[in-house]
Amino acid sequence: MRKIKIATVSAVFALSACFGGASVPDQLFTLTPTQTRPAETPQTAGAGAAITVVDPNVPQALRTTRIPAYVSETSIQYLEDAAWVENPAPMFARVLAETIAVRTGRVVLDNRQYTHDPGTRLTGQLIRFGLDPAAMEAVAVYDAAITRPSGVSTNRFEARVAVTADTPAAVAPALNQAANRIAEQVAAWVAQ
């Protein structure tokens, strides 16, 4: 009976850690586009002219709110006390969508609006999104695929931003900057 009680108490403590019972970071980080459309700027697109930005696929290491540090090609650690407000995939997709809309002037839909008009679809995989501690750089790598009426095109985009420390306060803004650099490159590619 004593073993069952100990196991139960251990399970309760483990669950409480999942729901905020453990150390919770003082702040959570998010991604924001450097350029945004002004409020009340309606846009219209003809049939097939809209672009739908789909949340990128991510490897298991990015299916979390934690910020990875790529210690080697086969080893990942997470920055202590560093957490996003949500998984980076939807945040990255929103930065892409807003930047494409601003840079190209086209109507950009998110995946939930896809049924309005399929148009052009931008999909991809966010392969890396974290700290490269050996280079002291925030690194983002995005493999994009765009489906147009003429066919499918792919392209890989990478951005690196130097960081001064391996702390959340230094890495998160650098990752935001890297996400925006990639979004600008993708917008230029989409506009071709």
What is the number of structural domains in the chain?
1
Whether residue 33 is contained in a domain is answered as no
Of 41, 87, 80, residue with least CA distance to 61: 87
pLDDT tens string 71-102: 999 999 999 999 999 999 999 999 999 999 99
Whether residue 16 is contained in a domain is answered as no
Which CATH number do you get for residue 128? 3.40.50.10610
pLDDT tens string 11-29: 444 444 444 445 667 899 9
Whether residue 141 is contained in a domain is answered as yes
> Do 57 and 124 touch, CB atoms closer than 8 A?
yes
pLDDT tens string 106-146: 989 887 776 677 688 999 999 999 999 999 999 999 999 99
Stated pTM of the model: 0.84
Whether residue 101 is contained in a domain is answered as yes
Whether residue 176 is contained in a domain is answered as yes
Whether residue 154 is contained in a domain is answered as yes
**Residues of the domain holding 57:** 48-191
The set of residues, in sequence order, having a beta carbon less than 8 Å from that of 140 and lying 6+ positions away, is 126, 128, 129, 158, 159, 160, 175, 178, 179, 181, 182
